[in-house]
Each structure stands twice: as structure tokens, then as C-alpha cells.
Amino acid sequence: MDIHIAVLPGDGIGVEVVDAAMRVLYAVGDKFKHVIHAEFADVGWAAIDKHGTALPASTREICRRNQAILFGAVGLPERDKTLPQKDRPERVALLELRKGLFANLRHILLPPGLAGRCPLKMELIKSGIDIMIIRELTGGLYYGQPQRISGTAPHRQAVDTLPYSEPEINRILKIGFETARRRRRRLTSVDKANILATSQLWRELATAMGRQYPDIQLEHIYVDNASMQLLRRPSDFDVMVMENTFGDILSDEASMLAGSIGLVPSASLGEPDGSGKSAVPFYEPIHGSAPDIAGQNKANPVATILTVAMMLNYTFGLSQEASAIEKAAFKVLNAGKTLTGDLGGQATCSEVTAAIIAAL
């Protein structure tokens, strides 16, 4: 099969982890006889320095004409500070490229061999941790209008708006139920229905949809309680579905359960619009650009390597290839010999990548 992807390494460790993931992708292409066509493009500060903007037209065009986008990270806090909020790479590039991609899947999986890296006590994690967090990505506080600061100090006012429509809630809930059906058939719907109107609507729709999925065990939980239960009974969770901001926060919390944020991949998916074409699916590790360790060959490439596995699975329907990557990565992690610093090891990014390719 021909695989056409746009590759946007971006800033900081984005460059090295994307390079690592591409090596793994080429190795899988060789093994399973697929031809990888990769078009590289600038994004983030890498693009500002060359083209004056974090998302140049040339990059947009490259993204538009490919089947999927593999993305590293954008933003360098020290340099971001010099720009007004609206011109910063995360807004100009990241939020732009995610437009139309309403379903963000973040897979939290603790390799058994790394149980010692999970901050929780062994007795709490002995049945394993494997959680798929599904975060609504195009609605709510991030895009709701009005969003502004007005007036003059010391009497300024600020407002953010949290809107959700029934169709927006239903389409993400459906992804939740369908994903649970392919996994352990448990769905946790996270809301704040004791206070928020959007959450009341959310809970009502989740309950109604639950009747169409009698095989799925549906649980409703308030977001504050969810943040506690994730630490108290992480093994109980299978699929969790929630609105944008709740998902942003809980997925960072949950990433620690996997042993390191350097292990968590993500996929952002849309649905075909009227013309049958949807926004280009977007794949990224959930970690950021980590400028403190950038360019030193120290970054953990596993999140991006697992991100490539998600891409092969969701966009190209290559589940065997995806699971070959996952097995190879988990073999290396469970063996515990070739680990980067975030996992208590001393291996370099290139050594971990080479070990995973050897295990393929």
C-alpha cells in the first residue's frame, strides 16, 4: 500500500522524536511491503524563523494533500513570551491543524515491566492500567465566544464561554460507545452535571445513547471525583469520554499512570463533511517540546513511535502493522534495559529507537 503523510517535527524534542518514529515507520514499511511517501514541512518556531509565521501556507498545503499528519511539538516558552497570545505557535499552528478533528484519543497504557515507574502503590495497579481517554477537541471553552478581557485596570473583566450542541455531544459519545465495544465494554462519561448546563445536557444524551448499547456498562462520574478515582482505582477504567477542557486536564493526570508522559500517543480524528472529505487526521505525542533536553538525544521516542502505530491503525486500517510496533515497543520497555532518563534509564533516543526496530 502507498502511505502518504505530512511530517511536521516542529520545535524542541519534536525534531528527534519524529525522526525516531519515521525510522520505525520505514522499518515497518520494509517488513510489510508498504511504500512510505513523507513530505516534511515547517511548523512552530522552526516556521516562524523561516517564513514569519508558525503555520505557513506551504505547510497547510502539504497537510491538505496528504492522508495523515504526523506532528512533533510546537512552542518554546522563552520565545513564546515575546509574542502576543494570539500569535503563539500553539494557537496559530496546533489549534488550527486540529480544526474539524473533534475526537482526540489518548491511550494510557502502563507496560507491566514499568510498574515501578507508576507513582501509585503496587496493590492499586496490580490488575494493570489500560485507559483510552476520548477528549472532545473542537468545542467548549477553547473556541466558545465571547472570549476576551475588556475594560481598564483595576476593573477589567474576563470571559470565556462553554457552548456545546446536541450533535457535538452525540458524535463524541458515539465514538466513546463504539470504542468501548472494541475494548473491555466499559464507558465512563465524565461531566459536572451538578453545576454546568452543558454537563446536564451531556449526561441526558449519554444516558439515552446508553440504551442503544446495552452491552456497554455505562458509568457517569463528576470530573472532580474522576480525578480522584483515577488514582484510587485506575484499573477499573476502560474508555473515558469527556468535553475538551476536562479531557485536557484528566489526560495529563492519567499520563503519569503510564509511567511517563513520554509514553502517551494520541490521534485526532474527524468525520467526513458533506463533500465526503474530512479534515486530515492528526497524530501527535501528548508531551510538549521539552526545550531543556532538546537536541541532546535524551528524549523518549516511545510516545511518537506509538503515535505512528495509532496512525497505521486508524487512518490506514493496518492493524497488524500497528500491533507489530506496539509489541516491539512494549518488549523493549518491559525488558527494562534500554530506557531513557524519564524512565530511570540512561539510553539515548537513538538507542531506544534502534532497540524497537530490532524487536520488530
Catalytic residue among 248, 298, 314, 342: 248
* Residue 169, binding choice from ligand IPM, Mg ion, none, Cβ under 5 to 8 Å by partner class: none
* Residue 269, binding choice from Mg ion, ligand IPM, none, Cβ under 5 to 8 Å by partner class: none
Q: C-alpha cell of 131?
A: 485507559
For binding to Mg ion (CB under 5 A), which residues are involved? Answer: 248
The set of residues, in sequence order, having a beta carbon less than 8 Å from that of 49 and lying 6+ positions away, is none
Q: Which residue is nearest to ligand IPM (CB)?
A: 90
Contact in structure between 148 and 101 (CB atoms under 8 Å): no
Catalytic residue among 42, 142, 164, 238: 142
User: Minimum Å distance from CB 90 to ligand IPM?
Assistant: 4
Nearer to ligand IPM, 180 or 261 (CB): 261
* Residue 329, binding choice from ligand IPM, Mg ion, none, Cβ under 5 to 8 Å by partner class: none
Please say if 248 is a catalytic residue: yes
Which residue is listed with cell 539515548?
Answer: 348
Q: Is 343 exposed, middle or buried (0-12, 13-18, 19+ CB in 10 A)?
A: buried
* Residue 223, binding choice from Mg ion, ligand IPM, none, Cβ under 5 to 8 Å by partner class: none
Please say if 252 is a catalytic residue: yes
User: Minimum Å distance from CB 82 to ligand IPM?
Assistant: 17
Nearer to ligand IPM, 94 or 129 (CB): 94
Catalytic residue among 80, 164, 192, 213: 192
| Helices of type H across the chain | 14-32, 45-51, 57-64, 77-80, 89, 96-97, 122-125, 166-181, 197-210, 223-232, 244-255, 302-314, 319-335, 349-359
Catalytic residue among 19, 130, 252, 327: 252
Other CB atoms within a 10 A radius of the CB of residue 95 amount to: 16
Sign of CA dihedral 251, 129, 263, 241: negative
User: Minimum Å distance from CB 275 to ligand IPM?
Assistant: 27
154: preceding bond cis by omega (within 30 degrees): yes
For binding to ligand IPM (CB under 6 A), which residues are involved? Answer: 90, 94, 248
Nearer to ligand IPM, 88 or 203 (CB): 88
User: Minimum Å distance from CB 179 to ligand IPM?
Assistant: 19
* Residue 90, binding choice from Mg ion, ligand IPM, none, Cβ under 5 to 8 Å by partner class: ligand IPM
Nearer to Mg ion, 80 or 248 (CB): 248
Nearest to 333 by CA among 347, 312, 322, 320: 347
* Residue 94, binding choice from ligand IPM, Mg ion, none, Cβ under 5 to 8 Å by partner class: ligand IPM
Nearer to ligand IPM, 18 or 328 (CB): 18
User: Minimum Å distance from CB 227 to Mg ion?
Assistant: 14
Please say if 80 is a catalytic residue: no
User: Minimum Å distance from CB 248 to ligand IPM?
Assistant: 4
Contact in structure between 94 and 55 (CB atoms under 8 Å): no
Nearer to ligand IPM, 98 or 117 (CB): 98
Residue-wise DSSP of 178-229:
HHHHTTTSEEEEEE-TTT-HHHHHHHHHHHHHHTT-TTSEEEEEEHHHHHHH
Other CB atoms within a 10 A radius of the CB of residue 205 amount to: 18
Q: How do strand 282-285 and strand 265-269 relate by DSSP bridges?
A: antiparallel
Q: Which residues are catalytic?
A: 142, 192, 224, 248, 252
